[in-house]
Structure 1
Amino acid sequence: MIRAVPHVAAMAPYALADLGRAGTVSLAQNESAFPPSPAALAVGRAVLDQMPLYPDPEWPDLRAAVAEVHGLDPAKVLCGAGSMELITCLIRAFAGPGDRVLGTDYSYAFAASAAAQVQAEYVKAQERDLTVSVDDILDAVTPETRIVFVCNPGNPTGTLIPNCELLRLRAGLPADVLLAVDQAYAEFADAENNPGEIFALAERGDTVVLRTLSKAFGLAGARAGWGFFPPDIAGEVRKLLNPNNISIPSQAMAATAMRDQAHMRNVVAKTAAIRDRFADGCRALGLDVPRCHTNFVLIRFASAEQARAADAALRVEKLLMRGMGGYGLQDCLRATICTRDVMDRALAVLKGVLG
């Protein structure tokens, strides 16, 4: 019998969302409720005749678009097949057996899977009120800690800490500990947290900032993410990236979507309005919903049993939210924000469950 190496055989598969049966509306994947920029779709179609060619491994136009929008040096931008590829390669490059990757109670679970792939130990610092605690992260650092991984805004909580807390975290970490700030949902919070302050941390040489076009830009299917890296860190990570990782249409669409900031901001505003209306409706039913800074909300029920009842009732109506048992939040469901009519349907189901 052919066997995998022991540490891979011992791993559990990464838990993907249950997409339900045909006709089910998914509120489980944090996809955009609205389509991408029309200009991005048009340019994607326009380059389909280039499909016999390999994609450019330097992502020149996408890097240039990111640099133009954020005022960054394009040479320090790396692009990946979603930010997941960048997370994987970052951990592969800087952690291994005997090392620790430090996350938080509810930070993005994929980082734990990436750490397991290289036999690094993944540990969690405590969060307070479903929010990242810098003090608890600093208390959890040990001599074995190689990478600290922070999601801001958080997933699955949607909570946000101010930039000053991230700056305090970086100042308190040892110089040989790499800080990775996952900002997959940052476009929903940039109005509150000046992004330039966090990008500036990368200039120190010890911090990486990761973003994606899957959420606010509506390009989850294109698999395009990017990060701002110190040159020495980028050089090591680049060795591990697939050299043709983002397809020609995806690069073209991502660059055009990045430049169409007006469309992105409109999507963010519409999504936030539906999100806040839905969250207020949940709170009116007595549910606990933290203030959210993303395209989803975390709904906390009175008990795990009530959460399961809500999930079952939603499935009957072909609405599928994401259970949070994998995060230790058995009393919670996470709801991606969809169109207003879908969210109204979901709220009606919750109202029926709660009487």
Structure 2
Amino acid sequence: MPLKAAAHVEAMSAFALANLGGHDRPTLAQNESAFPPSPRAIAAGQDAIAHSHLYPDPDWTELREAIAQAYGVEPDLILCGAGSMDLISCTIAAFAGPGEEVLGTSYAYNFVASATARTGAVYVKAEEQDFAVSVDSILAAVTPATRIVFVCNPGNPTGTVIRNAELLRLRAALRGDVLLVIDQAYGEFDDQDPRPVFALVARSDTVVLRTLSKAYGLAGARVGWGLFAPSIAAEVRKIQNSNQVTTASLAMAVAAVQDQDYMRETVARTAQIRDRFAQDLRSAGYHVPQSRTNFVLIGFSSAEAAQTAGRTLREADIIVRGLGGYGLTDCLRATVGPQEIMDRALRILIDMRSA
């Protein structure tokens, strides 16, 4: 008789990554930075490789101090992980189990559904409005079984934001035994002051997550961080693997966070390319919501039109992300890449619209 996995694992679908068609092809499908990390981060990583025979600091001491200095938060509230995915997975595992619910939104980051399925909990979606999170929809979907509410702001794959005041309203209206997780993976692209949201962590019922994969260009290093009240952090750390952030990744992360000027320049350059690309698409007749991330959502007249555009771009060696897994079959998501690739993609899409 063949071995069988646990029933809830057998019932899962694997988390779907983008079909890149090979790493030698230009991709606008991964939400990676269009620009390399800070030269200081690269140099720090190269130096750290010589110490790879030693285990990394399991408490991320230097990185927590650097983040605290850069973001005006307390280092004792910071947990780090192998990307924000690690922190999402461990937080859900610590606070949701079989028969309980994790409540997200229509277009929240799909990995949350995968992380929920691993625990045997149930993932529920509240409707979004105009591709944006709706606090009223979330509150209407809360049930006695709700253990976690997960909000991605700015959103992925939509790129949209809601104001901080709405997040504060959401937290105030939720029960005290419901953990609110606010994923701000693209927070550096949002012009709102993060401090009111960060301050929610002091309530001991809210977690705020960030990553160094986007604005800092460290997707390959796999470093994420978040703000956790001590009572929540203690449970999440039980689930985390020890030494999960490598020595080289820690060194790169410290140097990257300390180079705030480089990060801000990266964000500004990315936003400039993004806004020009989005506006030109709107002028050509595409529906493109306002984005506060490093990507844009492109709406087409039909699912068939979106599939044709994705296929045409791929034939030109440009890969974008199809969004069937989000139910957005009539949309594609395009990461902001180098200007030359964005210009090529734009010409193809405009030509298709005018054909």
Shorter-chain TM band? over 0.9
| TM-score normalised by L of structure 1 | 0.98
Q: CA deviation at 1:352?
A: 2.1
The CA RMSD measured in Å over matched residues stands at: 0.7
Is contact 1:313-1:353 (8 Å) kept?
no
Partner of 1:297: 296
Q: CA deviation at 1:102?
A: 0.2
Partner of 2:351: 352
Matches within 5 A, 1:153-192: 153-189=154-190, 191=191
| TM-score normalised by L of structure 2 | 0.98
Partner of 2:10: 9
Partner of 2:75: 74
Q: How many residues are matched?
A: 353
Q: CA deviation at 1:164?
A: 0.2
3-state SS of paired residue (1:239): helix
3-state SS of paired residue (2:216): coil
Give per-residue Cα distances to partners, 1:45-104, cap 9 Å, x unaligned: 111110011111010010000111111111110000000000000000000011000000
Q: CA deviation at 1:23?
A: 3.9
Structure-2 change in CA distance of 1:174 and 1:352 (3 Å):
same
Q: Is the counterpart of residue 256 in structure 1 residue 249 in structure 2?
A: no
Give per-residue Cα distances to partners, 1:177-210, cap 9 Å, x unaligned: 0000000000000x2x111111100011110000
Matches within 5 A, 1:24-103: 24-103=25-104
Is contact 1:104-1:137 (8 Å) kept?
yes
Is contact 1:101-1:122 (8 Å) kept?
yes
Give per-residue Cα distances to partners, 1:295-330, cap 9 Å, x unaligned: 000000011111011011101100000000000000
Instruction: Please give the alpha-carbon distance, in whole angstroms, between the structure 2 residues aligned to 1:22 and 1:178.
Output: 38
Instruction: Please give the alpha-carbon distance, in whole angstroms, between the structure 1 residues aligned to 2:148 and 2:24.
Output: 42
3-state SS of paired residue (1:91): helix
Q: Is the counterpart of residue 201 in structure 1 residue 200 in structure 2?
A: yes
Q: Is the counterpart of residue 144 in structure 1 residue 170 in structure 2?
A: no
Instruction: Please give the alpha-carbon distance, in whole angstroms, between the structure 2 residues aligned to 1:171 and 1:256.
Output: 37
Instruction: Please give the alpha-carbon distance, in whole angstroms, between the structure 1 residues aligned to 2:126 and 2:23.
Output: 39
* Aligned-residue identity in percent: 59
Partner of 2:108: 107
Structure-2 change in CA distance of 1:71 and 1:23 (3 Å):
closer
3-state SS of paired residue (1:2): coil
3-state SS of paired residue (1:27): coil
Q: CA deviation at 1:17?
A: 0.5
Instruction: Please give the alpha-carbon distance, in whole angstroms, between the structure 2 residues aligned to 1:20 and 1:27.
Output: 12
Any stretches of 5+ residues in structure 1 without a counterpart? none
Instruction: Please give the alpha-carbon distance, in whole angstroms, between the structure 1 residues aligned to 2:48 and 2:312.
Output: 44
Partner of 1:221: 220
Matches within 5 A, 1:327-342: 327-342=326-341
Instruction: Please give the alpha-carbon distance, in whole angstroms, between the structure 2 residues aligned to 1:14 and 1:29.
Output: 14
Instruction: Please give the alpha-carbon distance, in whole angstroms, between the structure 2 residues aligned to 1:52 and 1:229.
Output: 31
Partner of 1:120: 121
Any stretches of 5+ residues in structure 2 without a counterpart? none
Is contact 1:93-1:240 (8 Å) kept?
yes
